[in-house]
Structure 1
Amino acid sequence: MKNLIKYFTFLLLAVCMGSCQKDETYTEFPAPVWQVDDAKYSVNMTAVVVLPNNLLPYFNENDQVAAFINDECRGVGILVDNAFFVTIKGTPEEISNVSFRYYSTQNKYMYTTDSFLPFEQDAVYGTVDAPEVLSLNIVQ
């Protein structure tokens, strides 16, 4: 009987130790300094965006959102009531898609979207009453 108890104890410990995994770690980034070269762009569009539910526990009022076209910052979000208002700058003949980046100050992770939103002069993406939820992926 003692051997049986020892065997089950050993088996239980082996199972517990095998199920303990380290949390996946990601690259930490310093806080970005995103700026737009306003002099280069004569038109704009507006986006009102919020974070997905899975990132809300990490949300901090110092977090940042910015819009990019071809890796160039075209708009920096202003936080109002947990939504980011982003004025996205461009040219009248702009035909590129916009992507977004989100920086979490709590975990120092950078997140990004695909380039999915076509730049359109005077267009509005999301509203105060119905902001668009960003589909973000962590930058490794």
Structure 2
Amino acid sequence: MKNYIYSTLVLFFIGINTYGQSPTWSVNENNFQYTMSFVAFVNIDGTNLTSTNDKVAAFVNGECRGVTNLTYVASGDSYYAYLTVFSNENNETLNFKIYESTNDVVKDVPKTKSFEINGHYGNLFQAFSIASPTLSNSAEILDFNFSGVQIVDKLILGNQITLDIDNNENVTALNAIFDLSLGAKLFLGTTHQISGSNSIDFSNPVQFQVLSEDQSVLKQWEVIVNLSLGSATYYKKDAVCYEGGVIKVLFTENNQEVVLSKSDIPYATQSISNGETIFNNLEAGDYKVKVGGNVKEITIKLKE
């Protein structure tokens, strides 16, 4: 009997410790004329909260202006805060607090928001972030490759990535491998793509979306895959004190543009004629030759 009473008391006090300090946040909606709303995800220390006992509230100068528990949404397989905030005027500064039920703690949120009459922020795809500490708002593709495919040349310029690969590759089912900003996610349409575990048709330029960790930034990216148009052969002659070096390019297709770069800066451009083109009088240095999706790095040395 004593053991039963002891066990009951232990469970009782555990219950008090878990939920006994849940904040009694409340707002008298009848005192206010206007509302704004949020569909938010709630994050503490880099982890999204996943309990309907968790809460989030908005305050103005310490006065509670809105409070809600988290709601599970099956279509997104995630927990969201549907938060309505009340005010009598525009531009009041909203502060947020999070209650995490598992550890029975209240966290202040660094980010603030100005009240906007009838304003709405967030949706199930790109929710408003209520997080402590603040999450990253970067939505960059840092690198992009394909599993089992040699990249002949790669150019990342702005939000466009161009990749040159061998013309024997099947571009209709490439497995993309990519590195993103901290916590960011890559989407094709609204379908989340996992690096190294996908199959994407790159016959035409592909439009991706990258969503930042805090979901405040959704950046559009274009990835273009070019197949080599033929085979190239390269010859070179080093420079001497009285004469510059030479690079000769042979290519199987005429009229193809040949771009010669030095330190990744375009140096000269010529076209293939009668199966070849020649760059003369080159100073010593490292060059990159690109033609028809083929790239070759060539070093011109100075002979004494």
Summarize deviations over 1:19-67 as a string: whole Å, max 9, x none. Answer: xxxxxxxxxx8110111011210110001111237233x6422111111
Q: Does 1:133 align with 2:133?
A: no
Within a 5 Å distance, the mapping from 1:31-42 to structure 2 comes to 31-42=22-33
Summarize deviations over 1:98-123 as a string: whole Å, max 9, x none. Answer: 11111111111111113620001000
Q: Does 1:111 align with 2:97?
A: no
Output the aligned Cα RMSD: 2.0
TM-score, normalization by structure 1: 0.68
The structure with more radius of gyration: 2
Higher helix share: 1
Q: What residue in structure 1 maps to residue 47 of structure 2? A: 55
The residue identity in structure 1 corresponding to 2:119 is: A
CA contact 1:51–1:133 (8 Å) conserved in 2: yes
> Could you tell me how far 1:84 is from its partner in structure 2?
0.3
> Could you tell me how far 1:136 is from its partner in structure 2?
1.5
Higher strand share: 2
Summarize deviations over 1:76-106 as a string: whole Å, max 9, x none. Answer: 1242220000000001x33311111111111
CA contact 1:97–1:115 (8 Å) conserved in 2: no
The residue identity in structure 2 corresponding to 1:85 is: Y
Structure showing greater relative contact order (alpha-carbon pairs closer than 8 Å, 6 or more residues apart):
1
Q: Does 1:77 align with 2:68?
A: yes
Q: What residue in structure 2 maps to residue 25 of structure 1? A: none
Question: Unaligned regions of 5+ residues in structure 1, if any?
Answer: 1-28
Q: What residue in structure 2 maps to residue 88 of structure 1? A: 85
Tell me how far apart the structure 2 counterparts of residues 115 and 99 of structure 1 sit (CA, whole Å): 7
Q: What residue in structure 1 maps to residue 95 of structure 2? A: 99
TM-score, normalization by structure 2: 0.33
Bigger shift: residues 45-54 or 99-108: 45-54
The residue identity in structure 2 corresponding to 1:112 is: D
The residue identity in structure 1 corresponding to 2:68 is: G
Q: What residue in structure 1 maps to residue 119 of structure 2? A: 123
State the identity as a percent: 25
Question: Unaligned regions of 5+ residues in structure 2, if any?
Answer: 1-19, 73-78, 134-304
Residue 115 to residue 72, structure 1, CA distance change in 2 (3 Å):
farther
SS in 1 for 2:30: helix
Tell me how far apart the structure 2 counterparts of residues 115 and 42 of structure 1 sit (CA, whole Å): 25
Aligned residues: 107
